[in-house]
């Protein structure tokens, strides 16, 4: 820099402000990191399983947690694909967004997006779909006492069993009680690297669905960890911190 120097002279050669030096170094390494991007797949939102052209079975899900996780992946230099069911959130423009409705379409799109380094399955995939779909709208005058259901494909398990299996998979478990117990069982069953359990009825009136807050636990080979009620953006940061730690 130009300025007064320790030797008493004035001119170019002055030692630059250390804060400025560190910010140039930080930017240099940030750019290097950006070139070493990892690929992330995030499933988000609910799926809709149609009974007829106007009626469907679905799950409650705003897409906010999935959106926060996708944004955090982008912040950390990832290229991100979001496969999402119908939601009203604004996904980041930098991500590749694939809109789907049904679980089977979500599965197809997820498999098409492989290979990825990390798959984070936040979507509230409907567990059941109608065994028979009626092309014509069912009339209310018809007497329908029951609808036969069959299970939808498990997207997370299909990803972990795929030949192009992601290096790291994350599953979610939404529970209303016994979080530790149910989430631990799901961690074993789903064969994922990290399971995020979330309590969906612990925020009082400020329910998890559609809210900006979430209450989660993390289960991995590092053990079980309970977290307090946090903003979904903070939850996303802690999940990504944990993924980075486990990948180390
Ligand atoms: O089995 P359960 O639905 O409770 O598991 C939840 C986790 O599995 C979530 O990560 C969800 O995205 C994923 N899942 C899936 N395909 C399904 C059902 C759930 O990927 N059909």
43, 20 in Cβ contact below 8 A? Answer: no
Ligand 1 atom closest to the Cα of residue 157 is: 20
Grade residue 160 by pLDDT with cuts at 50, 70 and 90: very high
Question: Of 173, 201, 177, which Cα lies nearest the Cα of 185?
Answer: 173
- pLDDT recorded at residue 199: 85
Question: Of 39, 65, 32, which Cα lies nearest the Cα of 167?
Answer: 39
Q: For the chain, what percentages of helix, strand and coil (3-state, to nearest 5) are there? A: 30, 30, 40
pLDDT greater than 80 at residue 37? no
For ligand 1, mutation pick of 123, 175, 219 (most atoms within 8 Å of CB): 123
Q: Is 110 a catalytic residue?
A: no
The closest residue, in CA terms, to atom 4 on ligand 1 is 173
Handedness of CA 122, 97, 87, 73 (dihedral sign): positive
- Whole-number Å distance, alpha carbon 141 to ligand 1 midpoint, is 36
Cα-to-chain-centroid distance, residue 157: 16
Active-site pick, 7, 73, 110, 121: 7
Residue 4 to residue 21: CA distance in whole angstroms: 18
Beta strands 10-12 and 2-4, pairing class: antiparallel
- The CB of 101 under 6 Å from ligand 1? The reply is no
Alpha-carbon distances, residue 154 vs 99, 106, 120, 151, 248 (angstroms):
18, 10, 14, 9, 28
% the chain with pLDDT above 90: 75
**Phi, psi torsion values for 50, nearest 5 degrees:** -80, 140
Bigger pLDDT: 210 or 178? 178
- The CB of 69 under 6 Å from ligand 1? The reply is no
- The CB of 103 under 6 Å from ligand 1? The reply is yes
Handedness of CA 83, 86, 89, 93 (dihedral sign): positive
Ligand 1 atom closest to the Cα of residue 158 is: 20
The closest residue, in CA terms, to atom 2 on ligand 1 is 173
Cα-to-chain-centroid distance, residue 129: 23
- pLDDT recorded at residue 31: 66
Q: Is 82 left (phi over 0), alpha (psi -120 to 50) or beta?
A: beta
- Whole-number Å distance, alpha carbon 153 to ligand 1 midpoint, is 9
Q: What tokens appear for 123 in the block?
A: 């979507």
pLDDT greater than 60 at residue 35? no
Tell me the average pLDDT across 103-130: 97
Helix (H) / strand (E) element for 203: namely none
pLDDT greater than 70 at residue 207? no
- The CB of 173 under 6 Å from ligand 1? The reply is yes
- The CB of 194 under 6 Å from ligand 1? The reply is no
- Whole-number Å distance, alpha carbon 157 to ligand 1 midpoint, is 8
pLDDT greater than 90 at residue 47? yes
- Whole-number Å distance, alpha carbon 154 to ligand 1 midpoint, is 6
């Amino acid at each position: 820099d130009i300025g007064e120097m320790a030797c008493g002279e004035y001119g170019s050669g002055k030692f630059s402000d250390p804060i400025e030096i560190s910010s140039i170094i930080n930017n240099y390494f940030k750019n290097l990191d950006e070139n070493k991007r990892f690929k992330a797949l995030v499933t988000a939102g609910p799926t809709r399983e149609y009974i007829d052209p106007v009626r469907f079975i679905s799950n409650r899900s705003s897409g906010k947690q999935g959106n926060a996780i996708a944004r955090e992946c982008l912040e950390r230099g990832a290229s991100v694909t979001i496969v999402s069911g119908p939601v009203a959130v604004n996904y980041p423009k930098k991500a590749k967004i694939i809109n789907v409705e049904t679980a089977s379409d979500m599965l197809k799109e997820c498999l098409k997006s492989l290979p990825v380094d990390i798959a984070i399955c936040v979507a509230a995939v409907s567990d059941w779909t109608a065994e028979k779909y009626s092309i014509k709208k069912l009339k209310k005058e018809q007497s329908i006492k029951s609808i036969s259901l069959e299970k939808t494909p498990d997207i997370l398990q299909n990803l972990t069993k795929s030949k192009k299996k992601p290096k790291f998979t994350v599953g979610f478990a939404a529970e209303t009680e016994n979080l530790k117990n149910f989430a631990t069982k799901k961690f074993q069953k789903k064969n994922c690297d990290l399971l995020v359990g979330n309590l969906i009825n612990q925020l009082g009136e400020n329910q998890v669905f559609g809210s900006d807050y979430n209450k989660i636990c993390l289960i991995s080979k590092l053990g079980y960890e309970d977290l307090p009620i946090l903003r979904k953006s903070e939850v996303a940061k802690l999940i990504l911190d944990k993924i980075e730690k486990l990948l180390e």
